Amino acid sequence: MTTNQQIDKIIAALYEYQVTQNLDWTQLPNYEALCKELFADVPNFTERHYQNLLYMLNSKRLIITHTETPENAYQNPISLRPEVIEWYEQFHSYLDYLDYLEEKRQPKAFREDFDEDIDSELSERKSIWGRMPVWLKILLIVGIIAAITVVALGIHV
């Protein structure tokens, strides 16, 4: 089970308690008990794993720890942030939400599901450099080199 799958499992359980069962954060199980309940069937899953997961949940700003210090969060209830509940209602999975965020970051040209119109539109466009004749490119390069040489040597024209 990957870390993101473990995070997804915790979010799903907290969502079930907070939204479906409408429990207040004071009625939620403490973090340690929640992890033992969710991951009892995972072999070699230690308290260190639980603590690392808690750190990730907290650093990704997915949960509210309801404690003064992060060290105390392990023995106390945690709850989902309101914004997490909001996107979880839409995606129903942390993994789906991550996929959505990844898709949003990709430029349209690299998305797998773009249609023929976008594809043909992209192939018709060319840069200015691509449309220039070769002789003009050479002339520009020679001019730029000459300008750099004049500036570097301090020659007054």
pLDDT (0 to 100) of residue 46? 86
pLDDT, residue 69, reads 76
Give how many domains the chain has, as a whole number.
2
pLDDT at 144 over 60: yes
Average pLDDT over residues 87-97: 92
Gap between the Cα atoms of 37 and 31, Å rounded: 10
d(CA 59, CA 77): 17
Do 101 and 128 share a domain, yes or no?
no
Q: What is the mean pLDDT of the chain?
A: 84
Give the domain extent around 7: 3-109
Does residue 112 register a pLDDT over 70?
no
Using pLDDT thresholds of 50, 70 and 90, give the confidence band for residue 138. very high
Q: Are residues 143 and 81 both part of a single domain?
A: no
DSSP H or E stretch at residue 145: helix 134-153
Q: How far is CA 126 from the centre of its chain?
A: 32
Nearest to 78 by CA among 29, 42, 38: 29
Stronger pLDDT, 52 or 1, i.e. the higher one: 52
What is the pTM assigned to this prediction? 0.64
Kindly state the average pLDDT of the residues 126-130.
75
Same domain, 92 and 54: yes
Residues 130 and 68 in one domain: no
